[in-house]
Amino acid sequence: MARSQLSVGLIGYPVDHSLSPVFQQAAFDALGIPARYELWPTPAEVLDERVRWLRGPEVLGANVTVPHKAAVFTRVDQVTERARRAGAVNTVVNRGGVLYGDNTDVPGFLAPLRERGLPLGELAVVVLGAGGAARGILVALAEAGCRQVTVANRTAERAHELAVEFGVVAAPLDQRLEPCLRRADLLVNATSVGWDGASLPIDAALLDALPATALVYDLTYRDTPLLQVARRRGLATIDGLGMLVYQGAESFRLWTSQEPPLEVMWRAALAARQAHEQASRRS
């Protein structure tokens, strides 16, 4: 007798741009798990109903994306320490009707850096942005024990609040950031600036301050103007696709208690991104 199909999906609004259904479904299929990963567009006014629905016996859980990570944090029954520190949940696991919240963005962000063999504890890092994504990155950098972290934001007050909470340095997002960049081993763009394919989160000239050995990491999973400018200056770069796949792999592990088929997920994610880029060029 065939096993009944389980449900898991992505909660956010909008969600139609996401690559998660492609590589997560590939993982379920590769391991023969009878689950369907779906897109669950959820406006704020129906979020409570959606979270209640996650408690059903046929639901494994969910991923959560903008703008609901902080709101879901307050609606689950238990959260992990890293989710608590980030103040956000991006993965919900349903265990017998009890909802557990985690933040897999934290290990997802660190995984590509560890793959490169970087000495994380020795890094000086500059993080651009002070929103929810930046909070998750600061949790990850604290977990990695980075020796110096600076958070820079256009609204100085928000950067200062994060700096006090996480015990890091705050800096303005202008020319006064230059001395921090001169000492940086890693520059992280945790803003959404660049998703449009045209904008830069900082003045391009500021990238000249980075050491030749610095790494530029953009959380956006496309080739952003920041990454393009950095490469033209001879700097190494990482886009956000690795973080997306690795956080998804950790979510998969939490839902299924099985090791995710990473190679399968990577192939599917790369193919899906290429298809999206081709479709964008045609439109």
The domains found in the chain, sorted by start residue, are 6-103 (3.40.50.10860), 107-241 (3.40.50.720)
Residues 206-231, buried b or exposed e (16+ Cβ, 10 A)? bbebbeeebbbbbbbbbbbbbbebbe
CB of 63 closer than 8 Å to CB of 9? yes
Which residues are identified as catalytic? 69
The 8-class DSSP code of residue 168 comes to -
> Strand 98-102's sheet: what is its strand order?
35-41, 6-12, 59-64, 91-95, 98-102, 78-79
| Predicted confidence pLDDT, tens digits, the chain (283 residues) | 345 799 999 999 999 989 999 999 999 999 999 999 999 999 999 999 999 999 999 999 999 999 999 999 999 999 999 999 999 999 999 999 999 999 999 999 999 999 999 999 999 999 999 988 999 999 999 999 999 999 999 998 999 999 999 999 999 989 999 999 999 999 999 998 877 777 899 999 999 999 999 999 999 998 999 999 999 999 999 999 999 999 999 999 999 999 999 999 999 999 999 998 887 777 6
Quote helix, strand, coil % in the chain, to nearest 5. Answer: 45, 20, 35
pLDDT at 225: 95
> Strand 169-172's sheet: what is its strand order?
169-172, 148-153, 124-128, 186-189, 215-218, 236-238
pLDDT at 39: 98
pLDDT at 34: 97
- Give SS3 for 155: coil
Only one residue has tokens 């959606």, namely: 50
pLDDT at 1: 33
Which residues have a Cβ under 8 Å from the Cβ of 247 and sit 6 or more positions away?
A: 90, 91, 104, 105, 107, 108, 109
Q: Residue 9 class from Cβ within 10 Å (0-12 exposed, 13-18 middle, 19+ buried)?
A: buried
pLDDT at 131: 87
pLDDT at 283: 65
